[in-house]
C-alpha cells in the first residue's frame, strides 16, 4: 500500500476480522450470474431482475422467493444443486465454448418455433414455471450450461459482428468469456498478515459454494467459517446474524471486529452487527455502497494494512 497516492489515512484497533467471501475475497460473479440466468430462464423470469435481486443474499432465501411451490424440506437440496451449477460454470474452460455455442444454437433452433423466434441471435424463449417442470421440456445440465453460456456471450458477439464481419470475429468474442473463480487484489496479503485464530468467513453462500471458491483460489478454509446452511442461523444478510455468529465462534465481541464486505446487503449486515465495516468496491461502484453506513470505502484491500500489537490486538491503517 502506497500512502502517497491517497489523501488521508485512519488508524484503529480490533480483535479480529470477519470476511464476506464472494465479491470480497473471491470473484465468481460471472459464474454466479450465469447460474441465476439459467434459473431465471427456467422459471420464465427476467435474468437481469433476478440477478439484481439476489446479489449478496442466501440462495435459500432467493430460491424460496423465486421458485413457485418450493417446500422448506426441499430447500437444502435445491441450494446444493444450484451452487453446484455455479461451480460447474466456473470450471467451464473458455476455449471449450466454441463447440458449446454451436451445440446450443442447434438445440435452441429445434426447441423454438419459427413463429416465436425473434431472430437468429435470440436466446431460448423463457417458459412458464409449470412448463419448466414438465419432463418433456426439462433440459440436461449440459444443455443449461450451453444455452446460458450462449446467452451471456450474445451481446458481445453482436457487437463484434457489427464491427468486423470476418468469419473469425465471433470465435474471438466467445473466447473472451471466462467464468473462473479468482482471488481479488490485496486479499492474499491481507490473509497472510493475520494469525489463523484472528479471522473468519461469514458468507451468504452455502458450504458447497464457499469451500469450492476458496479451494479454487488456494485460500485456506479458516477454522471459523459460517455458511448460509449453518443450522444455527435463523436469518441471513442483510440481518447481522452471520457476522454475530462468526464473531462468537471466533471468541470476540462483534464491536471489536472488522467486517470486509462488498454488497449492499452485506454492508448493512455488518453495520447492524456493530462492527467496523470496510466496504470494497469490487462488485459495486462506489456510489452504490458509500451511503450504507460503512466506516470506510476502499477500492481494494490493497488500501488496508494490518500490524500486530504486543497485547494481541490488530492495528488497521486504512488509506483513502
**Among candidate residues 145, 214, 227, the one with its CA nearest the CA of residue 179:** 145
Q: What is the CATH number of domain 3-27+181-319?
A: 3.40.50.1000
Domains of the chain: which residue ranges? 3-27+181-319, 29-176
Q: Which residues is 296 bridged to in the sheet?
A: 278
Helix axis angle, 141-163 to 97-111, nearest 10°: 100
* Predicted confidence pLDDT, tens digits, the chain (320 residues): 555 578 899 999 999 999 999 999 999 989 999 999 999 999 999 999 999 888 788 999 999 999 999 998 899 999 999 999 999 999 988 854 444 433 333 333 333 333 333 333 233 233 333 433 333 334 444 444 444 444 444 433 333 333 334 343 444 445 567 899 999 999 999 999 999 999 999 999 999 999 999 999 999 999 999 999 999 999 999 999 999 999 999 999 999 999 999 999 999 999 999 999 999 999 999 999 999 999 999 999 999 999 999 999 999 999 98
pTM (2 d.p.): 0.72
Amino acid at each position: 500500500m502506497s500512502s502517497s497516492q491517497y489523501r488521508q489515512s485512519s488508524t484503529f484497533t480490533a480483535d479480529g476480522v470477519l470476511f464476506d467471501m464472494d465479491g470480497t475475497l473471491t470473484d465468481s460473479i460471472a459464474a454466479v450470474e450465469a447460474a441465476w440466468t439459467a434459473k431465471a430462464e427456467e422459471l420464465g423470469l427476467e435474468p437481469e431482475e433476478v440477478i439484481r435481486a439476489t446479489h449478496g443474499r442466501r440462495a435459500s432465501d432467493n430460491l424460496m422467493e423465486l421458485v413457485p411451490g418450493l417446500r422448506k424440506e426441499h430447500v437444502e437440496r435445491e441450494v446444493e444443486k444450484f451452487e453446484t451449477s455455479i461451480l460447474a460454470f466456473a470450471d467451464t474452460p473458455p476455449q471449450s465454448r466454441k463447440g458449446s455455442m454451436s451445440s446450443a444454437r442447434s438445440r435452441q433452433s429445434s426447441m423454438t418455433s419459427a413463429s416465436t423466434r425473434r431472430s437468429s441471435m435470440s436466446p431460448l424463449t423463457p417458459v412458464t414455471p409449470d412448463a419448466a417442470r414438465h419432463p418433456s421440456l426439462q433440459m440436461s445440465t449440459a444443455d443449461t450450461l450451453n444455452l446460458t453460456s450462449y446467452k451471456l456471450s450474445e451481446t458481445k458477439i453482436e457487437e463484434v459482428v457489427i464491427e468486423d464481419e470476418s468469419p473469425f470475429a465471433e470465435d474471438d468474442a466467445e473466447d473472451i468469456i471466462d467464468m473462473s473463480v479468482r482471488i481479488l487484489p490485496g486479499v492474499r496479503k491481507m490473509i497472510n498478515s493475520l494469525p489463523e485464530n484472528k479471522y473468519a468467513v461469514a458468507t451468504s453462500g452455502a458450504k458447497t459454494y464457499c469451500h469450492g471458491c476458496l479451494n479454487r483460489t488456494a485460500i485456506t478454509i479458516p477454522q471459523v467459517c459460517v455458511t448460509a446452511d449453518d443450522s444455527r442461523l435463523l436469518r441471513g444478510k442483510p440481518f447481522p446474524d452471520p457476522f454475530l455468529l462468526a464473531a462468537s465462534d471466533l471468541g470476540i465481541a462483534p464491536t471489536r471486529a472488522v467486517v470486509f464486505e462488498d454488497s449492499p446487503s452485506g454492508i448493512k449486515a455488518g453495520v447492524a452487527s456493530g462492527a467496523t465495516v470496510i466496504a470494497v468496491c469490487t462488485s459495486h461502484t462506489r456510489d452504490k455502497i458509500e451511503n450504507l453506513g460503512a466506516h470506510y470505502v476502499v477500492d481494494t484491500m490493497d488500501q488496508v494494512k494490518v500490524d500486530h500489537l504486543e497485547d494481541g490486538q490488530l492495528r488497521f491503517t486504512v488509506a483513502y
